[in-house]
Amino acid sequence: DAARLVLRAQVENLPYSAHQADLKRAYQAFARQFGPINLTNTTTRVDEETGEEKSTQRRPNLQPFYDDPDVWLVSSIEEYDEKSQTGRPGPIFSERVIQAPSEPEVHGAHDALAVSLHETGGVDVERMAELLGRPGEEVLAELGSSVYLDPIRSTGGREVWVTADEALSGAVRTKLAQAREAAERDRRYLRNVAALEEVQPEDLRPSDITARLGAPWIPVPDVEAFVAEVMGVRTTIHHTLEVATWSVDKSGFSGKAEATSVWGTQRRHAGDLLDDALNQASPKIWDTWRDENGEHRELNTKETEAAKEKLAAIKTAFETWVWQDTDRAERLVRLYNDAFNNLVPRTFDGSHLKLPGASTAISLR
């Protein structure tokens, strides 16, 4: 109770030295009779089975009160040295450890923005205008590039403003496209466009991108074009993105000599290996036979290795072919960058936060 009276007086900005004196007297009386609040007794014993030393710690002055939520408040008022088993009064006995909440000092739009972020977690134009006694338009003009109008959430005559760290982070390529579309109907979004253009990630080049056969971002028509141009077969391919599976119409491979020589083997033709490549599967060739003991199955390692070599040849051929055509390369690079090179991490600045009741004895890094 004495510790709480000190804290309450400090929070309410009332005189607290008398409460500190009461707390000190109560602490000294307790320590004389029972020792330090955080007195810790350590018992060490040797495990008979493993021979390992095991230590057990007990806090006789605190343990009976572990079910009391205030036990750790009481524990915190003392600085305890476990080696010497001595305790001494902590800062609460002689210092101010909690600052009283103070009214914010607002001298300009950026101060008002800090208050708005602290109170509401967002940009509240009405609150900022109230704090400054000025029209919202003037406040926004002074804030300049610190805030931006959100083109997605600003609908139905309602304007939603966000901080620059929110507007210019995340899926910035997507945001740029949205801002450009919004700017066609409202020129205020032109500043979003200009700012977002400045933070776009640098495009990756073909040499930075692995275009793997079966990669979900590569369109089906490009895979079909590869099969037609390189493998000499016109086929139909389907890609079910939701379950990450590809299917190949293999009828066009029938009767093609290259299907079992250049791009496949007699035991695994090119159509099956193309299916394996797209679905990231590894071919296995099995020999089966039947005798008086039933049916038997054994992996044919020689044929399996031959099929794997043809599979690798198909994959390598695709990775070479995919970047050879300039128009196709530019289109795929754009597609990849828009899909996967799209994010800018958000950097948070918590300098506007006020933490009422936080201890001044602790410094956050």
Task: Please tell me whether residues 288 and 327 are part of one structural domain.
Answer: yes
Do 145 and 255 fall within a single domain? no
Q: Is 98 part of a structural domain of the chain?
A: no
Query: For the domain that residue 115 is a member of, what is the CATH number?
Result: 1.10.10
Nearest to 286 by CA among 273, 276, 305, 300: 300
Q: Is residue 178 domain-shared with residue 288, that is, in the same domain?
A: no
Q: What is the CA radius of gyration of the chain?
A: 36
| Co-location of 151 and 242 in the same domain | no
Contact in structure between 223 and 213 (CB atoms under 8 Å): yes
CB 72 within 8 A of CB 87: no
Residues 304 and 336 in one domain: yes
Give yes or no for a contact between 224 and 238, defined as CB atoms under 8 angstroms apart. no
Residue 356 is assigned to a structural domain of this protein: no
Whether residue 12 lies inside any domain: the answer is: yes
Q: State whether 134 and 235 are in the same domain.
A: no
- CA 286 – CA 298 distance, rounded (Å): 5
Does residue 164 sit within a domain? Answer: yes
CA distance to 104, 330, 335, 336, per residue, from 205 (Å): 50, 9, 12, 10
Residue 114 lies in a domain: yes
What confidence score (pLDDT) does residue 351 get?
A: 55
Domain membership of residue 253 (yes or no) is: yes
CA 176 to CA 178: how far, in whole Å? 5
Determine contact, residues 293/304, Cβ cutoff 8 Å.
no
Same-domain pairing of 236 and 261: yes
SS3 4: helix
Q: Position of tokens 């948070």?
A: 348
How many CB atoms are closer than 10 A to CB 246? 21
Residue 323 and residue 330: Cα distance in Å, rounded? 9
Q: For position 355, what pLDDT does the model report?
A: 46
The pLDDT of residue 352: 47
DSSP code, position 217: T
The partner residues of 148 in beta bridges, in order of sequence, read: 162
pLDDT of the residue at 293: 86
Q: Both 227 and 318 in a single domain?
A: yes
Closest of 208, 207, 235, 241 to residue 223, by C-alpha: 235
148 located within any domain:
yes
Alpha-carbon distance of 179 to 173, in angstroms, equals 10
What pLDDT, on the 0 to 100 scale, is given for residue 294?
86
Cα(318)–Cα(312) distance, integer angstroms? 10
3-state secondary structure of 49: coil
- Do 137 and 162 sit in the same domain of this protein? yes
Same domain as 174, residue 244: no
Same domain, 229 and 273: yes
> Which domain covers residue 125, as residue numbers?
109-198
Task: State whether residue 44 is helix, strand or coil.
Answer: strand
Number of structural domains (the chain) is 3
Same domain, 72 and 135: no
Tens of pLDDT along the chain (365 residues) come to 789 999 999 888 899 999 999 999 999 999 999 999 999 988 888 887 887 888 888 999 999 888 888 898 999 999 999 889 899 999 999 999 888 777 778 889 999 999 999 889 999 999 999 999 999 999 999 999 999 999 999 988 899 999 999 999 999 999 999 999 999 999 999 999 999 999 999 999 999 999 999 999 999 999 999 999 999 999 999 999 999 999 999 999 998 999 999 999 999 999 999 999 999 999 999 999 998 888 999 999 999 999 999 999 999 999 999 999 999 999 999 999 999 999 999 887 655 455 444 455 555 55
- Is 353 within the bounds of a domain? no
Identify the pLDDT of residue 57: 87
